[in-house]
A and B are shown apart, each in its own frame.
Chain A
Amino acid sequence: MDPSNSLVIETRNLSKAYKGVQALKDFNLKLTPGILGLLGPNGAGKSTLMRMLATITTPTEGTILWNGRDVVKDPEALRSVLGYLPQDFGVYPNLSAQEFLEYMAAIKGMSGEKARRRISDLLDLVNLRDAARRPLGGYSGGMRQRVGIAQALLNDPQLLIVDEPTVGLDPEERVRFRNLLSDLSGERIVILSTHIVSDVESTATDIAIIHKGHLKVRARPEQLLKQVEGTVWEWMATSQELPALKQRFLVSGTIRRMDGVEVRAVCEARPCPEAQPVTPNLEDVYLATVAQRQGGPL
């Protein structure tokens, strides 16, 4: 039997309050191997959720179960199989990537020989072989991000939590990382939080949208796309009309053309006679969902 089949992480009535401010409220989620794309506006509670899943922060109420074991009471049950890439993380600038990864491997409890082999493989994987002996202080933002990705994968985690992992990566590295995530997802649970909807679009097998500490939507991408089918429109407008259109409709994109501005909007009814229905994407879904919750145009 494939051991990955038994992997389950589940939150039950998870709540977190910071000095009276409710960051997350009665949050229920059950995940099995695959990639969950976590979307939500700033302050929605994504980072709080991920910190709790990563055993950094304890919930005010509720439980987190890893394969049936309560990791709030026993975080060690999860930590040895956990990989975490925080949104804002730093490195020791005077250590090389090799030394930093050796350090992280040790505190993750990996043995010397196993760690060395794994570090070598990961340095190739994140394309840092040539820079491995240079001090991290001289690395670019993208290179540091790749070091962060490597440390998250050090212990071959069964649960991988990555917060804004592609920030600072150039397009080529971003594609590389997306592919890597897709390859990894078959045998582990990956939680990917990002504002870059295209990252989620290309990798996630499941999508959850959080808003004001609540889980609003949890579905497969194709289900979500189906929900907004027939409500996304495109038409040409003038630059002068644009401010008024933004007031009236949920504009999800604009492109300047020679003959004006191509407007893309989410709207139940045809917004104007010249508007044509187009195939929705996840950005439309996301905007529509968040706007609905805020009492927006949809």
Chain B
Amino acid sequence: MKTLRVLYHLARADFFERARRYRFLLTLAAVIYLGVLVSNGTWFLYLMPGDLNPLSPRYRGEFNSAWIGTMTVLVTNTFLGLFGFYLVSDCIQRDIRTGVGQIIATTPVRRATYLVGKWISNFVVLSVLVLILAAAAVIMVLFQSEAALDLGALLMPFLAVALPNIALIAALAVVFETVPWLRGAVGNAGYFFLWLSVVIFSFLGGMALPFLKDPMGINLFRTSLVAGAEAAFPNETIGWMGLQSGIPRDTQFRVFNWPGLAWTPGIVGEQYLWAVVGLGLILLSALWFARFDPSREGLRRPRTKPGEAREGEPAEPQKKAPRIALPSLSPLVSKLAQVNPFLGVLFAELRMLLNGRRWWWWAIMIGLNIAILSNPLSTAKQYLLPLAWLWPLAIWSEMGNRERKNNTFQMVFSSARPVLRQLPAAWLAGVLATTLFGIAGAVVFLSNGDLPGLAGWVGAVIFIPTLALALGVFSSGSRVFEVVYLIWWYIGPLQKTPGMDFTSGAPQVYLLTAAGLLLLSAYWRGRQVRV
């Protein structure tokens, strides 16, 4: 009983803290918009023959409650699977950042109880979003349905599939925050690839274990949908399910009646096993949870320079401080800054950007560049350069938000020319660092006379740090850039999708975009400085 009360208050306080933020309203607006996209047919569920021939016929279910509910749940699970994770995975970091954690550490609350409380809070936040999409599905049935509203058929996919799926996402968010090496950019990138693998394998039908089907319900629904379609069209072989946006309005579908999944306790239980898996992962991750002990790995603040005492830790042994007169203090302006104040700031920004990486980070970066130089151009373009454009993610994601993250913004913003000197210096430092990270690319393009390739390389060198700076300034955090860039990187440089690949095609578009983003960043930083 006492544990339940603690869980209730933990989750309640955490939920209120998040739900009362302006950002939560924006999230709600985004989810309502997603509901509209599903309702107006922008996102569409369909079936195809397994040969994936674009000329093959496409099939869809009659717009009844079961079909609309299933379609909405699949869109919900796919999107919340990615964005939901990033939305909620800040609850423990917030306790560390605000210092509330060190008060919590002195209370009798147990590690597992605390983590489960955070899990429930994450789950409630995501449930609100699912509820909105369920309401959107009801509206869609009322306005577009080809059959009467059947609340049971409509809501069962939400209850049986969407809820356990978000329970798993909520749990993974806690786990990724609890395990020290899964925090930050590494964890964010790691989760992106985990999500991508689950989506790809599920749609390809490879994500089905004896007792656990995929958490998004893709396999579960596909089996039933394909069976329904094949029953309606017995002479046709249907094997592929797609969820796509932007299908032309005049696309002809063969329509069949699908009354919905025959829900059994077994099916529902299987899906809820994912929630149990999530709970298990949380309890396991409690082993890594440092309980806000600053002396344990992963909770430490950034390293301080030698001789600089950190709170709670002793200063280096030092000799008696000499009593010196003020005029003997070190000069205010460095030699570089004396030559040009901008150069001084640029050098400092560059140093901050590159400092703090471990030797193995640099070893991999250098190794990638050596591999680019020593492999054929096609291999370098297809695989190695995209990797070089991903590896420094953690460095780029610090751009534009370091001042907020380290709480130095009051000092930085009150210094001379924070918009006209510090911001351009930070941007140029990012460009120079990116040039360094991918320098081998420029060398191979030049040596092979591949000028379009070189133009694409320049596009990447300019565009990536500009995007990082802009999103860092706008969001005052690193996560937005990490998520946006990961998706963009996957669609563009890796998949080479035309129009999205900023490393080839039309770099001038990206250069213009970069210029626009830079101006917007300056405008936004100007507002931040004045506020």
Contact = CB atoms under 8 A, between A and B. Distances in A.
Are A and B physically bound partners?
A: yes
B102 A94 contact: no
B357 interface: no
Nearest to A77: B108
Given A90-B98, A94-B17, A82 B5 contact: no
A222 interface: no
A205 to B, nearest CB: 23
Interface in B80-101: 97-100
B250 to A, nearest CB: 48
Contacts of A247: 323
B410 interface: no
B109 A56 contact: no
Contact of A109 (B102, B105, B107, B321): B107
Interface string A73-98: 00010011010101111111111000
Contacts of A42: 309, 315
B233 to A, nearest CB: 54
Contacts of B16: 92, 94-95, 99
A107 B309 contact: no
A79 B106 contact: yes
Nearest to A41: B315
A102 B6 CA distance: 10
A159 to B, nearest CB: 10
A44 interface: yes
A54 B108 contact: no
B313 A48 contact: yes
Contact of A103 (B13, B311, B323): B13
B314 A296 contact: no
Contacts of A56: 102, 105-106, 291-294
Nearest to A86: B102
A106 interface: yes
B13 A294 contact: no
Contact of A102 (B9, B21, B104, B323): B9
Interface string A43-54: 111011001001
A90 B99 contact: yes
Given A47-B312, A106-B5, A107-B6, A92 B98 contact: yes
Contacts of A148: 103
Nearest to B2: A109
A82 B106 contact: yes
Given A82-B106, A94-B20, A107-B107, A23 B292 contact: no
Contacts of B325: 243
Interface in B316-331: 316-317, 320-321, 323, 325
Interface string A1-40: 0000000000000001010011110000000000000000
Contacts of B56: none
B127 to A, nearest CB: 19
A135 interface: yes
28 contacts: A23-B313, A23-B314, A42-B309, A44-B314, A47-B312, A56-B293, A76-B108, A79-B108, A88-B311, A89-B99, A92-B17, A92-B98, A93-B17, A102-B9, A102-B13, A107-B6, A107-B108, A107-B109, A108-B108, A108-B109, A109-B6, A111-B5, A112-B5, A148-B103, A151-B103, A212-B317, A294-B321, A296-B320
Interface of A: 16, 18, 21-24, 42-45, 47-48, 51, 54-58, 76, 79-80, 82, 84, 86-95, 99-100, 102-109, 111-112, 135, 148, 151, 212-213, 243, 246-247, 294-296
The 10 closest A-B pairs by CB, nearest first: A90-B98, A106-B9, A43-B315, A43-B309, A103-B13, A94-B20, A47-B312, A90-B99, A89-B99, A84-B106
Given A54-B106, A93-B17, 7 more contacts: A51-B102, A56-B292, A79-B108, A84-B103, A87-B311, A88-B311, A109-B6
